[in-house]
Structure 1
């Protein structure tokens, strides 16, 4: 018995999760295992892509629908804009397409507040979502969260017609709360399922779902709203899509390889051998907040995320309004053109990821240098492009080209700072991701509301000011990242391996540890990876 306890203790302190894989298979399990020729980690990748896609369609569908919900007739005559662009189709002095469902008298400030409501809830559940996913697994944390958002999306038309702007704002907050755990839970599942040498491809696959969601959401919304159709169809469609995804997710995906009932034994052994997260070890340790909050690379990552999200949310939330209200595209064209920048970003993200991995593999630059280069491209490139677009006046084709180019350059974000959390803390990837996303999500809260304040009449000159603010935020936060970014695992992510840095005076970070650590566990210097 004493020897058995020693073995169990040794396993708890082991580097990898080695849960016995021998189990008796029933007939159904054998049949499922024989039918599944595609490795389960790739099925997880595809379902993760569809999950992120689903999350973003439900997030952005209101951005386009709100242009058809609000009656601008009243406010249009109160302000004369000498720089106003001509409408797409005009018959005499009236637009050719009537909008019988545009019944709400919401000003730009109110619209901005409604659009920002989602991000209040989104910020509130990032850290709790990361904790729940690390404690209970990512499958149900992610699945139930997105299911709740799908149900709220489906109910949106009923809620709006019953309670107006106030009820819609509350509903958007609840939708954001449902989506908050998405990224932390997915990051934890990828850390459990994907070997380090496959993470670039799987990361591009899964997180590319954001662009697929923006493409699909914008394009389908444009079709569903064309010719003055009822905007309620948008919410019914995407809410139903979310419920359908949850059904597939529940049947096909599991939190870890060792809990998957019909994964092949070959793949299970391969993952247990190659996935290096110290799952058992860190599960008993508290999150090292004292070290995380004192880490310069973490705060550099936070600042870069704030800048990226500011630029990204400006595009995602307000580009449909800019295209419709300023450039005066009709709603069907707006939906199609709004999708084009995200197609460019999705394609370029794979290109940037391939280039970054190739350069690192060849030794042409370090991981740190690669993260800085691609984050800089993803920040300064879009900042310049949106300013140029705002000075093109009513040259709508050239303006859209610059918007498309700006989002294409923003694709470098995935091979830059997006995967940097896995570099810094593979064992606490969910916690770090939740911290970064919680902080950066405030950009999503501030941006729509601030743009609503800066563009009360939605004129070209007012929007130019909003784009200059975006330029300053993108470039300024990128400078901070370039100074303090890092590309290697941090000591606090695995104290047992790396020890404490010289001069650490803030107590132990792991359980059952003597606060007076010996000199033998001091952190030794490491070269940048």
Structure 2
């Protein structure tokens, strides 16, 4: 596709390379997705009637209230059981699972731009409808809206995988991939922190209006700045296009790909190792993202403002580690200190065994708030190395089908987003410290077992099912043979 003259003129005004702009907008896409997703986790502590522990038996353990601001933690008017709260928080992932594979297929066929953009836009619109749903329909309407939010957001990671595969060379994949995927941590930080501040200052609907409105603004900026691949970008600099062509060999979407090789993918041992690691990561991550504010409120008895602050600190550390581990991963690969496969395995192992240990340790710190926050911060910080580990494996294993691989792994992993918050609600009917300790021990087992499977069978090499030209070459050779026979 010939670049238009107006595009060449406009490209002069862009100092930052377009692949970096795409990475920044991808980072902001995930950031917005997470703020919209987790805002309810903080807001629900102000929606429900605060649990009274004064009459509980001696077989449970509770911490004393936060004396700094005990009145602000009085809760709301909705009498939702812990089990119902768990189902409400998990309902988002019911929709989230459904659109992963369709989102990956659509992004591979039509490009990642609109698959990503429209998904975030729909999530933003339903986020802004959340207060209306709660006030008019209660828990049932809230569950429906959360499922619809999940349907929109389910395309996010598959579409971004396709975009990164088209825009980012291998030697930049660690740092730019970590930048993009780090949006999850920053979104969690801002979602927790700003939700706590807004809930302390205003009524709870403001949280949903603000985060939904920011998502809509992002959509319009993204539509102007970003495109599915370098060949369709009207104002990319010719020098950058030449660089990408030199580094990647091809900078356009392969529209002649044969049907997705489903059998080869689902029978691939490295693929199942990747799915295993994704399940372990998501189990631990979703418990922390979805339920850490409830733990801070119900067990540690933090005020709402303190809850938002201390629930966000672990993700500050996680973001810092995810970015730095991306640079370390690229350095290990480019210096040939470790292969791609071993780099991904080391990062993934560190991100599983470390959090498993510190998560359990936090539950044994009891009511020492400082120690608990420090341990949770270390726990989530170590989890940040996932983003230079197994999260990049779909791009390593199959650039052509990265969206499909990300959709499969993230979709299956997201089933834990349905199970784990609901299971937490079932396991913590009294919201006690001892009940939560059991939750963290279960997470310990899931994280460790799945990481061992990944470290044994995972691969960072391009898999055979990625290479469709072989089939087309055989067909071309057969046609050529027939022509020879005719002549």
Q: What RMSD, in angstroms, separates the aligned Cα atoms of the two structures?
A: 2.1
1:86-97 correspondence runs (5 A): 86-89=64-67, 95-97=70-72
Does residue 64 (structure 1) correspond to residue 42 (structure 2)? The answer is: yes
Does residue 352 (structure 1) correspond to residue 325 (structure 2)? The answer is: yes
Partners of 2:244 and 2:251 within 8 A in 1 = no
Does residue 256 (structure 1) correspond to residue 233 (structure 2)? The answer is: no
Query: 1:510, 1:63 → 2: CA distance?
Result: 53
- Mark the CA change 1:351 to 1:162 in structure 2 (over 3 Å): closer, same or farther: same
Does residue 205 (structure 1) correspond to residue 188 (structure 2)? The answer is: no
| Residue number among 313, 321, 334 corresponding to 1:361 in the alignment | 334
- Mark the CA change 1:464 to 1:32 in structure 2 (over 3 Å): closer, same or farther: same
Question: Which region of structure 1 is more displaced relative to structure 2, 481-490 or 450-459?
Answer: 481-490
Cα deviation, residue 66, structure 1: 0.3
Cα deviation, residue 352, structure 1: 1.9
Q: Deviations over 1:42-99 (max 9, x none)?
A: 11111111111000100110000000100125x64563455211111279xxx43374
Query: 2:443, 2:473 → 1: CA distance?
Result: 41
Query: 1:109, 1:326 → 2: CA distance?
Result: 16
Cα deviation, residue 360, structure 1: 2.5
- Mark the CA change 1:510 to 1:453 in structure 2 (over 3 Å): closer, same or farther: farther
Query: 2:225, 2:469 → 1: CA distance?
Result: 36
Does residue 216 (structure 1) correspond to residue 190 (structure 2)? The answer is: yes
Q: Going by fraction, where is helix more abundant, 1 or 2?
A: 2
Cα deviation, residue 436, structure 1: 0.4
Alignment match, 2:85: 111
Alignment match, 2:144: 170
Q: Which runs of 5+ in 2 are unaligned?
A: 479-487
Alignment match, 2:296: 323
1:129-528 correspondence runs (5 A): 129-226=103-200, 229-276=202-249, 281=254, 283-496=256-469, 512=475
Cα deviation, residue 511, structure 1: 9.3
Q: Which runs of 5+ in 1 are unaligned?
A: 1-19, 498-507, 516-529
Query: 1:282, 1:276 → 2: CA distance?
Result: 16
- SS of the aligned residue for 1:202 comes to helix
- SS of the aligned residue for 2:294 comes to helix
Partners of 1:288 and 1:492 within 8 A in 2 = yes
- Mark the CA change 1:284 to 1:363 in structure 2 (over 3 Å): closer, same or farther: closer
| Residue number among 81, 94, 97 corresponding to 1:120 in the alignment | 94
Alignment match, 1:25: 5
Q: Deviations over 1:81-132 (max 9, x none)?
A: 55211111279xxx43374x71100000000000000111110000000011
Alignment match, 1:49: 27
Cα deviation, residue 253, structure 1: 0.8
- Mark the CA change 1:431 to 1:391 in structure 2 (over 3 Å): closer, same or farther: same
Partners of 2:258 and 2:468 within 8 A in 1 = no
Partners of 1:133 and 1:185 within 8 A in 2 = yes
Q: TM-score, normalised by structure 1?
A: 0.86
How many residue pairs get aligned? The number is: 477
Query: 2:132, 2:192 → 1: CA distance?
Result: 22
Query: 2:179, 2:400 → 1: CA distance?
Result: 21
| Residue number among 73, 79, 82 corresponding to 2:56 in the alignment | 79
Q: TM-score, normalised by structure 2?
A: 0.94
- SS of the aligned residue for 1:419 comes to helix
- Mark the CA change 1:390 to 1:162 in structure 2 (over 3 Å): closer, same or farther: same
Query: 1:113, 1:98 → 2: CA distance?
Result: 22
